[in-house]
Structure 1
C-alpha cells in the first residue's frame, strides 16, 4: 500500500507546525526518517522563513536608505544563521513533530538508525 501524501495546503500547514490528520501518520514518519530527511527539514525551514524574509526586504528597502544589495546580503545571512541553528537541532525538532502526530519520543532517531545502518554493522550480522 502506498503512503498517502498531504495536499499542498496541508503540507504548508504541516510546515508551519500544524498537525496532519491521522491518515498521514505513515507519511510523517517517512518525512522525518527517509534518507533525505535533513534536506526535507531544510526545505521546511526555508519555506517557514520566506514570508519573514519578504517582509524584511520590503520594510528595509522602503523605510531605510540601505542599498538593495546590502539588504539582500543581510537577509541571506539571517537565513543562513537560522538554518544553522535549526539544523543543529534537527533531531529534536523532528522528534517533537513525531510526538505531535502520536508517535513515541525517540521513534524518529531509532527508525533512522535502523533504516540507514550499513550492512554488516550489526552485532548479530554474520
Structure 2
C-alpha cells in the first residue's frame, strides 16, 4: 500500500482501448494499470482528461436523446446541450473528489492524487523561481558590463 507522500514505483501501463472506455464510464482497471491511473489523475493535463471522460460518459445519453426523443431536431439539440452544460457544471464542481475516488479505487490511500499534484506544483514553482533568478542574474550582468566600460 502506498503512502500519500510517497513517490509511486509502479510502471505506467496504459490500458487497452476497451478497458479505457470501461474506466471512463466509472469501472476499475486491473492491478497492472495502477500506475497509469495515478498518472492519469495527476499529470499536467489531468483536468482535460477528466473532461474527456465526462464526455465519454455523456455520449450514450446524448445519442439516446437525439435519436429517441419525439420532438423537432432543434429541441432535441437544445435538450442534449442543456444536459451537457449541466453535466459539465457538476463534473467540474466535483472534479477533485472524482479523481481522488479513481485513485482510491486503484488501491492507493485517500489523498494520494492531491499530494502528488501538490508536490508536482511545488517542483514547477521551484523551477520557475530558479529560471527567473537566473534571468535576473543575466540581466544584472549585462547591466554591469554595459556601464562598467
Structure label with greater radius of gyration: 2
Partners in 2 of 1:102 and 1:72 — Cα distance? Answer: 40
Partner of 2:113: 108
Instruction: Tell me which of 78, 98, 101 is aligned to 1:73.
Output: 78
| 1:1-126 matches, cutoff 5 A | 3-60=12-69, 64=70, 66-117=71-122, 118-119=125-126
Partners in 2 of 1:9 and 1:2 — Cα distance? Answer: 20
1:51-93 per-residue CA deviation (whole Å, 9 max, x = no partner) reads: 0110111121xxx3x3212211221121011011111101001
Runs of 4+ in structure 1 deviating by more than 2 angstroms, as ranges, are none
Q: Give the superposition deviation at 1:18.
A: 1.3
Higher helix residue share: 2
Structure with bigger RCO (C-alpha 8 Å, 6+ apart): 2
Partner of 1:116, secondary structure, is: helix
Gaps of 5+ in 2: 1-9, 129-149
1:96-116 per-residue CA deviation (whole Å, 9 max, x = no partner) reads: 111111000011111111112
Contact 2:25 2:57 in 1 (8 A): yes
Gaps of 5+ in 1: 122-126
CA-based RMSD of the aligned residues comes to 1.9
Partners in 1 of 2:33 and 2:11 — Cα distance? Answer: 11
TM-score (norm: length of structure 1): 0.86
1:2-22 per-residue CA deviation (whole Å, 9 max, x = no partner) reads: 621001001011111111111
Give the paired residue count. 118
